[in-house]
Amino acid sequence: MALLSPESAPATRRSDHTDTYHGSAVADPYRWLEDAGSPETQAFVDVQNKLTRRVLDAVPMRAELITRLTGLWDYARRGAVWQEGGQYFQMRNSGLQNQFVLYVMDSPTAEGRVLLDPNTLSEDGTVALGDYSVSQDTSKLAYSVSQGGSDWQEWRVRDIASGDDLPDTLHDSKFSGASWLPDASGFFYSRYDRPPEAEQLSGANFNQRLYLHRLGTQQAQDELILERPDQPEWGFSGTVSEDGAYLVVSVWKGTARENLIWVRPLAERGDFTEVVADFRASYRFVGNDGPLLYFRTDDAAPKGRLISQHLETGEVREIVPEDQDRLLKVLMVAGGFVLHTLEDASSRLTLVDRTGQNARPVTLPGLGSVGALNGHASSPQVFLSFTSFLSPAASYTLDALSGQLEIVWTPDLGVDLSAYEVRQEFAESRDGTHIPMFIVTPKNLLLDGSHPTLLYGYGGFDIPLTPSFEVSRLAWLEAGGVLVVANLRGGGEYGEDWHQAGMKDNKQNVFDDFAACARHLVERGYTSPPHLGIEGGSNGGLLVGATLTQHPELIGAAVAHVGVMDMLRFQHFTIGWAWVSDYGSSDTPEGFATLSAYSPLHNLAQRAYPATLLTTGDHDDRVVPAHSYKFAAELQHVQQGGAPVLLRVQTRAGHGAGKPTRLVIEEKADVYAFLLAALE
């Protein structure tokens, strides 16, 4: 701790604002910080950033970390290939480019040419490529861009042959992809009514609509396909089936893993056939053989199964029944399907025929994660990426007929990783549940409790944390650190039962699981509380905040990125209402009782807390920065120990997606300098 400056935090004005929830008065002294654009809030951010810079810039190892991280990052990276028509596409980064570049090639291994370079769209690298879609005839690319980390998207169209953009520009889109008509004359996308500029970080996003845009027309002329003003929380994702016969719409409601499926012939207008007519389970469209539709679902199968449903007769058949492993994804290929499952949070691939029989496992490179899985129902050729904690993502091709996996491209990191090893261990949570975690250490680590250890977690929204390579973590390992990634309840590692065991009234299980992992690491001798740091982002930031308030004695430092810290008001901002499916809501007495019991902002007390670093972006319109602002101000107010509480606010940055490489390197250097100094 001696390496961290003991400077006192600035005093922040406290108001007497109070809210009443179901008869209970709750003080909210920093309510004014929710006004992100006010001069007083801007002054608060400036003062906090100056304090953070004074403290972190004084840490001697920060400059070394910048140099080392820059060197580590400077290696070529490529995503998985995908194919449309006779052309192939791939995202690439030469090393230190702020944004990945889209290439088009004549073969999977060809050098190809640049189709779209987002680095040319802004001088500071903060305009990022969002979603993209290539038309079936490979003549057009629909792509979206976002500014400064915002979730708002602007859709544009590029002619693939010439590389020139067409005049078409579509605004006010959010949480949307694009799906082309078979003749490339237009595409389906979704959009909202954008709130006024002053409400970008406060106005809620409701009433998404599905539109068809035809090339060469103005956005005002787009055809409205679906809207439900009587159901403002519903959203619509439209997909054109690969054979061009149907428009398949997934109707979603917030982040709940339950959706409707509506289908109609692509050329027709009028009513849809409600294939799934109620919000009872998750259904993901896999593909179709004419009117026979295939879905991956957790309906009556918490770990997932593959079914077919005949559009005309309504007959439902089970193709692949639920098994012991979580069925994460199904890809339809010539003659059958590729099943991507998780076994204790590690990927497995299996090939089956159209009836779900003749299962053949695919031999993967090791304990790790399949990333993208790309292919078509008419071809046996599959493209995928594979990564693990100690191997950067490489791209492969899989022959679905022979089961042969072949490497397409592998990165040259220039670093020998043979000195490290990965093991999986299980902690026992408070209720006896076994919680898996991956532990990355130097080989032959001496278990004497002295090692700085970073415990990372998420635990929510059915999202699994699987083995993956993050180059910045090498700097942590090289500095003598131990890395641990925990697979907590609430995530998606073991299916919907595992998810539900960590949501709403069961959310405390997630925090108990994380604390159990921390105790396991101490009991096994990997580390000790003064040497243990915790980290998480978004819902994982909530995890860090709750652990900080419930178990400060277990840890020596905490880092929370873009965390959900005010659990009583999250639903009032932008897309926050969508998280009620996982969290519940303070609008109900039951929800208020549950949320107020663990809300990080509302459970701080006058006591000594470990060193804490909170990071956010001033353009985060998903988890608005007020969460971090208010939590930082309150934590600084109640802090009784000498450990610093720092708030780092990145300008022209949002929730994390699309953040330029140079900003990521600077943030990682700050995080590791902070942790290594705090945990010395």
Answer yes or no: is pLDDT of 657 > 90.
no
- Domain borders along the chain are 18-71+415-678
Rounded Cα gap, residues 275 and 310, in angstroms? 9
Rounded Cα gap, residues 675 and 679, in angstroms? 6
Rounded Cα gap, residues 395 and 381, in angstroms? 13
Q: Strand, helix or coil at 132?
A: strand
307's CB contacts (< 8 A; 6+ apart) are 294, 295, 297, 299, 316, 317, 318, 319
Please tell me which residue in 538, 585, 586, 599 is annotated as part of the active site. 538
Q: Are strands 482-486 and 453-456 parallel, antiparallel or unpaired?
A: parallel
Query: How much of the chain, in percent, has pLDDT values that exceed 70?
Result: 99
Task: Please give the full DSSP string across 468-523, using - where no structure is assigned.
Answer: ---THHHHHHHTT-EEEEE--TTSSSS-HHHHHTTSGGGTHHHHHHHHHHHHHHHH
pLDDT value of position 3:
62
Q: How many CB atoms lie within 10 A of CB 392?
A: 21
Query: How much of the chain, in percent, has pLDDT values that exceed 90?
Result: 92
**For 509-541, how does the pLDDT look when each residue is reduced to its tens digit (9 = 90+)?**
999 999 999 999 999 999 999 999 999 999 999
CB 81, CB 374: distance < 8 Å: yes
Global pTM value: 0.95
Element (H, E) at 592: helix 589-598
pLDDT value of position 201:
63
538 is catalytic: yes
pLDDT value of position 204:
85
| Token pair for 528 | 């000790």
Rounded Cα gap, residues 66 and 404, in angstroms? 42
Answer yes or no: is pLDDT of 307 > 80.
yes
| Predicted confidence band of residue 137 (pLDDT cuts 50, 70, 90) | very high
Q: Are strands 186-191 and 179-180 parallel, antiparallel or unpaired?
A: antiparallel
Rounded Cα gap, residues 462 and 502, in angstroms? 9
Q: Strand, helix or coil at 282?
A: coil
At 246, the amino acid letter reads Y
Q: How many CB atoms lie within 10 A of CB 44?
A: 22
CA distances from 85 to 81, 138, 214, 239 (A): 13, 6, 21, 18
Rounded Cα gap, residues 342 and 150, in angstroms? 32
Closest CA to 247 of 223, 227, 266, 226: 266
pLDDT value of position 123:
87
Among 3.40.50.1820, 1.10.1280.10, 2.40.50.140, 3.40.50.300, what is the CATH number of 18-71+415-678? Answer: 3.40.50.1820
Answer yes or no: is pLDDT of 2 > 60.
no
Task: Please give the full DSSP string across 328-370, using - where no structure is assigned.
Answer: EEEEEETTEEEEEEEETTEEEEEEEETTS-S-EEE--SSSSEE
pLDDT value of position 96:
96
The CA R_g of the chain, rounded to the nearest whole Å, is 25
**For 353-411, how does the pLDDT look when each residue is reduced to its tens digit (9 = 90+)?**
999 999 999 999 999 999 999 999 999 999 999 999 999 999 999 999 999 999 999 99
Based on the number of CB atoms within 10 Å of its own CB, is 323 exposed (0-12), middle (13-18) or buried (19 or more)?
middle
Q: Strand, helix or coil at 603?
A: helix
pLDDT value of position 1:
44
Sheet holding 234-240, edge to edge: 234-240, 246-253, 259-265, 273-276
pLDDT value of position 202:
67
| Token pair for 373 | 């899985």
Residue 338 CA, chain-centre distance (Å), reads: 24
Answer yes or no: is pLDDT of 198 > 80.
no
Element (H, E) at 542: helix 539-550
CB 527, CB 521: distance < 8 Å: yes
**For 502-513, how does the pLDDT look when each residue is reduced to its tens digit (9 = 90+)?**
999 999 999 999
**For 230-280, how does the pLDDT look when each residue is reduced to its tens digit (9 = 90+)?**
999 999 999 999 999 999 999 999 999 999 999 999 999 999 999 999 999
CB 367, CB 346: distance < 8 Å: yes
Rounded Cα gap, residues 161 and 419, in angstroms? 47
CA distances from 11 to 19, 335, 559 (A): 23, 67, 22
Rounded Cα gap, residues 1 and 5, in angstroms? 8
| Token pair for 291 | 């009117």
Please tell me which residue in 499, 531, 561, 655 is annotated as part of the active site. 655
Based on the number of CB atoms within 10 Å of its own CB, is 454 exposed (0-12), middle (13-18) or buried (19 or more)?
buried
**For 164-190, how does the pLDDT look when each residue is reduced to its tens digit (9 = 90+)?**
999 999 999 999 999 999 999 999 999
